[in-house]
């Protein structure tokens, strides 16, 4: 690595520039603005995520303070608050969404052999959403209630490496279950869903697509027992049954057999009833897989704490989606670097070190080798270490 480059410039070298340009051309991103390119916009927003800048003015001030280094960091246009605001407002957010998906594909290749606590050959996804509250006056397009605006970030998380495979940003008015229609279902994969996604018509479509789901049963689910399997009560299992739905609507929407697993979590004194269309896995594995769904909740909490997605640099829908997708790109880029350099630090530690060394001219492979930063005491959020499972 060139020792004359800043840490930021070395980070940018890991981004596929040619693929980014293809994304720009796909949506004609350079159509009206020539001096401030889409690449400049991406670098500005990525810099803001890495250094936790709170506003466009803060981004402009920090970058202009290092004006002599900007060219060597990849910037070609002049960084100005008004120009960046205009770009966030009008540059198509899909440019950055498509580019993030390219990075996601690379990260999934790197983390394909990672363990997530359950020994399973199939790909396992957790699907859920988180709500980000907004000001109704500034974000009227996202009105949620009478005096409140909000957006939802729906995320399909690959549990091998906790990589967000698909992200959908919608108004908070959109019900979670509707996003099942947007998923490109993968045959043989397992999808972990909470009770908010129980829609038997959509679940049956997953079965027809040869995908598996595990979800929580609603308390008023009507069914008829058709068979069962022996269980070991010492493991917390109470029953493992084959059932058919008998409700007037549910039986029509899901005409096939379902599997009902009753499990008691003795540690938390919880009785959990799972529904799945997978009849091959043992019942205890079904319960363990659903417990792994909690990783998507930790992912949401982590990105809200350590990335800029709760306060936005623009108020339009396009600006919000652009910022979310650039934040996802930064998250995935850091995950790629962590894997390639085999760093033992958590993502939190890596981001904290990057935030204060971004302009230093140290080889990035050596910047994280200080034994002092390897101490777990550096990270006050141990429960958020998504990559230390």
Give residue-wise pLDDT tens across range 263-299: 998 888 889 999 999 999 999 999 999 999 999 999 9
Mean pLDDT of 127-143: 93
Residue 42 predicted with pLDDT over 70: yes
Share of the chain above pLDDT 70, in %: 94
Model confidence pLDDT, tens digit, residues 311-344: 899 999 999 999 999 999 999 999 999 998 888 8
Is 132 a residue whose pLDDT tops 80? yes
DSSP H helices, the chain, are 7-12, 17-26, 38-51, 56-64, 67-70, 81-90, 94-110, 200-208, 250-253, 283-292, 294-306, 317-341, 347-357
User: How far, in Å, CA of 51 to CA of 59, rounded?
Assistant: 9
End-to-end CA distance of the chain: 30
Q: Please tell me the predicted confidence (pLDDT) of residue 121.
A: 85
Cα separation values, 149 from 88, 138, 139, 173, Å: 20, 9, 6, 9
Q: Chain-wide mean pLDDT for the chain?
A: 89
The domain spans of the chain are 7-97+318-384, 194-292
pTM strictly above 0.75: yes
Residue 354 has pLDDT above 80, yes or no: yes
Contacts of 123 (CB under 8 A, 6+ apart): 158, 160, 186, 188, 189, 190
Beta strands 237-245 and 124-134, pairing class:
unpaired
Q: Strands, E, within 193-257: which ranges?
A: 212-216, 223-228, 237-245
User: What percentage of the chain has pLDDT greater than the value 90?
Assistant: 67
Residues in contact with 193: Cβ distance below 8 Å, sequence separation at least 6, in sequence order: 127, 128, 213, 214, 215, 293
- Predicted confidence at residue 1, as pLDDT, reads 45
- Write down the pLDDT at residue 388: 45
- Would you say residue 2 has pLDDT above 60? no
SS3 156: strand
pLDDT tier for residue 375 given thresholds of 50, 70 and 90: very low
Which region among 30-34, 99-103, 110-114, 296-300 has the lowest average model confidence (pLDDT)?
A: 30-34
Residues 231, 259: Cα–Cα separation, whole Å: 14
Does residue 387 register a pLDDT over 50? no
Q: Which pLDDT score, from 0 to 100, does residue 380 have? A: 46
Per-position DSSP letters for 30-77, written without gaps between them: TSS-SSS-HHHHHHHHHHHHHHT--SHHHHHHHHHTTHHHHGGGT--S
Which whole-number Å values give the CA distances from 145 to 56, 71, 166, 218, 384, in the listed order? 29, 46, 27, 26, 31
pLDDT exceeds 50 at position 383: no
Decide if pLDDT at 226 tops 60.
Answer: yes
pLDDT the model gives residue 186: 93
Would you state the pLDDT for residue 379? 46
Specify the pLDDT at position 370. Answer: 59
Q: How far is CA 374 from CA 336, 345, 349, 368, 382, in A?
A: 19, 6, 9, 8, 13
């Amino acid at each position: 690595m060139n020792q004359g480059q800043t840490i930021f410039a070395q980070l940018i070298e890991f981004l596929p520039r040619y693929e980014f340009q293809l994304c720009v051309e796909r949506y004609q991103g350079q159509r009206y603005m020539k001096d401030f390119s889409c690449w400049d916009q991406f670098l500005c927003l990525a810099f803001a995520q890495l250094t936790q800048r709170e506003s466009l003015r803060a981004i402009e001030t920090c970058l202009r303070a290092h004006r002599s280094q900007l060219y060597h960091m990849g910037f070609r246009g002049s960084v100005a608050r008004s120009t960046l605001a205009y770009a966030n407002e009008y540059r198509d957010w899909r440019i950055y969404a498509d580019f993030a998906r390219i990075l996601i594909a690379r990260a999934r290749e790197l983390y394909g052999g990672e363990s997530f606590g359950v020994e399973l050959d199939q790909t396992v996804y957790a699907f859920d959403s988180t709500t980000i509250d907004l000001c109704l006056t500034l974000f009227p397009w996202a009105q949620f209630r009478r005096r409140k605006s909000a957006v939802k970030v729906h995320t399909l998380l690959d549990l091998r490496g906790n990589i967000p495979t698909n992200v959908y940003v919608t108004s908070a008015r959109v019900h979670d279950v509707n996003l099942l229609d947007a998923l490109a279902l993968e045959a043989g994969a397992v999808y972990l869903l909470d009770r908010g996604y129980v829609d038997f018509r959509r679940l049956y479509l997953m079965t027809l697509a040869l995908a598996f789901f595990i979800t929580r049963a609603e308390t008023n689910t009507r069914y008829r027992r058709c068979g069962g399997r022996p269980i070991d009560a010492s493991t917390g299992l109470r029953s493992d049954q084959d059932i058919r739905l008998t409700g007037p609507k549910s039986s029509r929407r899901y005409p096939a057999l379902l599997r009902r697993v009753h499990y008691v979590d003795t540690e938390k004194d919880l009785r959990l009833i799972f529904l799945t269309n997978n009849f091959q896995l043992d019942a205890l594995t079904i319960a363990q897989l659903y417990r792994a769904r909690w990783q998507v909740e930790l992912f949401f909490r982590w990105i809200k704490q350590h990335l800029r997605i709760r306060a936005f640099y623009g108020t339009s829908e396009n600006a919000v989606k652009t910022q979310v997708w650039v934040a996802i790109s930064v998250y995935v880029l850091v995950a790629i670097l962590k894997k390639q350099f085999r760093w033992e630090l958590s993502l939190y530690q890596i981001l904290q070190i990057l935030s204060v060394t971004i302009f230093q001219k140290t080889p990035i492979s050596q910047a994280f080798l200080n034994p002092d930063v390897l101490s777990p005491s550096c990270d006050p959020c141990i429960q958020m270490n998504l990559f230390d499972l």
